Structure 1
Amino acid sequence: MRTIAAIVACILLLGAGAARGGPMQEDVDRLMRDYDGAVPGAAVLVLHDGEAVLRRGYGLADLETAAPVAAASNFRLASLTKQFTAAAILLLAEDGRLRLDDPVRRWLPTLPEAADPVTLHHLLSHTSGLVDYEEVMPEGPAAQLRDADVLRLLEQHDRLYFAPGTDYRYSNSAYALLALIVGKASGLDFAGFLRARVFAPLAMDGTVAFEDGVSAVARRAYGHSQVDGAWRRTDQSPTSAVLGDGGIYSSIDDLAKWDAALYDDRLLSEASRALAFAPQTATATGEPDVDAYGYGWRLAGDMLWHSGETIGFRNVILRFPRQRLTVIVLSNRNHPEPYRTARAIAALWLAPGND
């Protein structure tokens, strides 16, 4: 586990610009140089004390049209989606529509008997022991899975990896089921609930839980992968239509509004935010730079964070609430993983004299 002091030490690698004092655009440009030019790119946002102190796009959102990445470009968030899924459950708990200690089979009774001890809390904290749906998908070409298809796959496997609450195993299955539960408890589908209760109230006008043929993604960034030394569009996989674990598209501009809402009661109550940001795992996660998992958030010392990886996209959000600092990097390419780059960017603002 790297400490804040270790993060600050990263600035020694960033050259004389950072050493002179204030964070400088050229230092971030240097860190992001591989994303710039006629290649799949990235959008970078740094928020400090509620202000966007850096907001910039690099490279292209779509190689086919040469559309540049902009602050309003919408990327598939992948697992950054999980913080929104968790928030939806917490909102419904505030409404009295469900309880976090509800058995999952109260809402999804077709799950096998092995799931009897599993609660919504276990789903949120990755302590359910549910089978990973990616491991039991049929082989060969198939239509894209949706959240309801995840449920149908799990119905066929009457087993768990471990007794609920006794261990931690990151679970996309759990968050797909949570999306279905949002629909059952609210009377809306998952995408509709998020639109009505999260995106519209926060004026996140470009953000959508994307359903092909139902909704559209404005200013869309398309995913790419490097194959045999050349970049190719690789935007969708068989799991790309599952919403609860990774189906939201958003931009750094809209995520700035989301970040602001995590500091006050405009969306979630103080009690709900405390649950989301508190350690909910009793055992070590085994993941690098993770002390514990909350509800939709990884916890590491003073930092709340999450990564999101799917075909053609790599994303990360780092939040340092005590320092009122947030760094977001959204990219539409399969590499590199941007976590270390985001940490180095954060180091510029966490350095002594930049508080």
Structure 2
Amino acid sequence: MKQIKFLYFALFTTFSVTSQNITNNIDGLFSEWKNSNGPGGVVLVTQNNKTVFEKAYGLENISYKIPTSSETIFNIGSMSKQFTAMGIVLLQMEGKLSIDDDIKKYLPELNDFGKPITIRHLLHHTSGFRSSPELFGLAGWRDGDAISNEDVYRYLAKQTSLNFEPGSEYMYSNSGYVLLAKIIENVSKQNFKSWMKEKIFQPLQMNSTFIEENSSNVVSKVATSYSEIEPSVFNYVENNDLTYGASNVYSTSNDVLKWMKNFNEAPTKWQSSFEMLKTLDVLNSGQKNNYGFGVFVDDFFGNHRIQHTGAIAGFRSIMYSYPDENLEIIILSNFTFNQLSKIADQISQFFLQNKSKAETHQEEIKPILLNDEILKKYEGMYWSDKSNYSRKIYIENNTLWYLRTNNKKSPLLPITPTDFQMGGINEKLIISFDIKTNTMKLISADNSIEILEKYEDKKLSTQDLINYTGMFYSSELETFYTISLKDDKLIGYHSRFGEFDIQILKQDVLNWSGMAVSKYKRNKKGNIIGFSITMNRIRNLWFEKK
């Protein structure tokens, strides 16, 4: 085997734009919004308490030809979470709760999961609760079905297991912030909408900001949301997500700015509460989690940043605050434009210096020689039960290869008899085999580990497929799925959205056309008793065979 050298390096980028060109450069990023007959949005950039760029694009309502303005009100989607988090912070500061309280103290209807879930877990998205949009989709709710907080709470109260042990992982979950809103209501003895207005929006003079869970209410200056179905052709998108706590705050760019400035220069009575929103805690493993209380706290090329995005119906929103640079970037839109993060990054580059450590170094990998007899022990199919994917390991031309499901492959270069460096990628990844346990570990540069287990890739018989059929029921979602065999192909069915194809990933693991993965469970006699469903933000939700 030829000796191969790998270079690991950090790219250094310099940002610089003269002030006279900033306006043109920012405006040039929004060429797609310069349609006088379509929706658009508002862009606001300030630095050192001065407006650097402010412009409104397009129409807030197409039918009535109402142009967007700085006073236009947008639904800011998940950017709403930081206001809910502030509500919790204020209640703690008043001594009415502690973020380390068990949530069952305030929500006794929820099940006991063996280990306490705290308010802090909900704030950081580390509770393990399954996320509500995915729950409703799996339960058969269609796009357009109205969903309320009561609907979410009803499902969560039936939940008997978690995605993971509280505090062990970060997984973004709208459910947690719906529960936080209910805690605020139970503790304050007030309606969430009015309490938030009284305690947060009015004191901060956010006079155009409100919570609205009824999309049929007509409110002046509120933008209508749209989806672009083809170039310059837009459809109205109704917001049927009526939940609050996780979303459905409406605001203007100037009100969002009033809020954001507090991350840099809050009045004395608000300083400690805004500082608390930036609280970061590590996971149980000690691994970093950069989601604070309702906001992400990270950096952009070494520049400290507080940020969040939002998306609901046709609305899209983003806020970047760079407290050290006294820089705020706000983009609010009323159509399904999904490039806001990219554009906000580009705007950031007009103002910021690259403060990241520009270290360039090289690491030379000298593979050892291993004969095919040793390499052959590692050949086979490996399955990640956590992430639901398989990888094939095989020998070709005296080299061990790592084959992905998209047929892309990488060479594995031996550095010990059991450990291999993956080649052909722009990161350091070690593959470690253990023939005693028939596993391989993927060890990343940050020492995170994913374990894949070796399995026999055998062709299933018609009888095997028949065994997968039947009617399956989830008591948590109160819904049925029927699996049948047609022309030697498995077909799934739900009464709300009809049939879908099912593919075999491996024995007892099936793919529901990319929507979800079902993992069958057998009793001691080998008979199938049900399956668990795993999808985006849901893990191992049980369906019993009837």
Determine if the TM-score, normalized by the shorter chain, exceeds 0.5. Answer: yes
> Secondary structure of 1:262's partner?
helix
> Secondary structure of 2:332's partner?
strand
CA–CA distance in structure 2, aligned partners of residues 335 and 226 of structure 1: 8
Compare CA radii of gyration and give the structure with the larger one.
2
Indicate the larger mover: 200-209 or 143-152: 143-152
| Paired AA for residue 57 in structure 2 | Y
For residue 249 of structure 1, what is the aligned residue in structure 2? 250
CA–CA distance in structure 2, aligned partners of residues 191 and 267 of structure 1: 25
Q: CA deviation at 1:265?
A: 4.6
Q: CA deviation at 1:90?
A: 0.4
> Secondary structure of 2:328's partner?
strand
Contact 1:127 1:168 in 2 (8 A): yes
For residue 14 of structure 1, what is the aligned residue in structure 2? none
For residue 299 of structure 1, what is the aligned residue in structure 2? 297
Contact 1:78 1:313 in 2 (8 A): yes
CA–CA distance in structure 2, aligned partners of residues 213 and 75 of structure 1: 12
Is the counterpart of residue 342 in structure 1 residue 344 in structure 2?
A: yes
Unaligned runs of 5+ in 1: 12-17
For residue 24 of structure 1, what is the aligned residue in structure 2? 22
For residue 207 of structure 1, what is the aligned residue in structure 2? 209
The partner residue of 2:235 within 232, 245, 248 is 232
CA–CA distance in structure 2, aligned partners of residues 67 and 164 of structure 1: 48
For residue 95 of structure 2, what is the aligned residue in structure 1? 96
Q: For the structure 1 residues 279 and 128, does the alpha-carbon distance in structure 2 shift closer, same or farther, using more than 3 Å as the test?
A: same
CA–CA distance in structure 1, aligned partners of residues 79 and 341 of structure 2: 13
Q: For the structure 1 residues 309 and 214, does the alpha-carbon distance in structure 2 shift closer, same or farther, using more than 3 Å as the test?
A: closer
Q: CA deviation at 1:214?
A: 9.4
Contact 2:329 2:344 in 1 (8 A): yes
> Secondary structure of 2:54's partner?
strand
For residue 15 of structure 1, what is the aligned residue in structure 2? none
CA–CA distance in structure 1, aligned partners of residues 339 and 246 of structure 2: 19
> Secondary structure of 2:223's partner?
coil
TM-score (norm 1): 0.87
Contact 2:102 2:116 in 1 (8 A): yes
The partner residue of 1:151 within 150, 153, 160 is 153
Indicate the larger mover: 120-129 or 43-52: 43-52
Q: CA deviation at 1:291?
A: 6.3
Contact 1:209 1:248 in 2 (8 A): yes
> Secondary structure of 1:292's partner?
coil
Contact 2:132 2:152 in 1 (8 A): yes
| Paired AA for residue 46 in structure 1 | V
| Paired AA for residue 160 in structure 1 | L
Which protein is richer in helix relative to its size?
Answer: 1
> Secondary structure of 1:333's partner?
coil
Contact 1:317 1:329 in 2 (8 A): yes
CA–CA distance in structure 1, aligned partners of residues 87 and 199 of structure 2: 8
Q: CA deviation at 1:51?
A: 2.4
Q: For the structure 1 residues 4 and 75, does the alpha-carbon distance in structure 2 shift closer, same or farther, using more than 3 Å as the test?
A: farther
Q: For the structure 1 residues 139 and 262, does the alpha-carbon distance in structure 2 shift closer, same or farther, using more than 3 Å as the test?
A: same
For residue 189 of structure 1, what is the aligned residue in structure 2? 191
Q: For the structure 1 residues 332 and 196, does the alpha-carbon distance in structure 2 shift closer, same or farther, using more than 3 Å as the test?
A: same
For residue 45 of structure 2, what is the aligned residue in structure 1? 46
Percent identity reads 27
CA–CA distance in structure 2, aligned partners of residues 126 and 47 of structure 1: 30
CA–CA distance in structure 2, aligned partners of residues 115 and 313 of structure 1: 39
Q: For the structure 1 residues 123 and 47, does the alpha-carbon distance in structure 2 shift closer, same or farther, using more than 3 Å as the test?
A: same
Equivalent residue runs for 1:308-347 within 5 Å: 308-347=310-349
Point out which structure has higher relative CO (alpha carbons under 8 A, 6+ apart).
1
Q: For the structure 1 residues 57 and 99, does the alpha-carbon distance in structure 2 shift closer, same or farther, using more than 3 Å as the test?
A: same
Is the counterpart of residue 166 in structure 1 residue 164 in structure 2?
A: no
CA–CA distance in structure 2, aligned partners of residues 271 and 338 of structure 1: 30
Q: CA deviation at 1:271?
A: 3.3
CA–CA distance in structure 2, aligned partners of residues 312 and 109 of structure 1: 36
Equivalent residue runs for 1:79-90 within 5 Å: 79-90=78-89
CA–CA distance in structure 1, aligned partners of residues 114 and 54 of structure 2: 45
Contact 2:283 2:289 in 1 (8 A): no
Unaligned runs of 5+ in 2: 1-9, 355-546
| Paired AA for residue 264 in structure 2 | Y
CA–CA distance in structure 2, aligned partners of residues 335 and 315 of structure 1: 9
| Paired AA for residue 296 in structure 2 | R
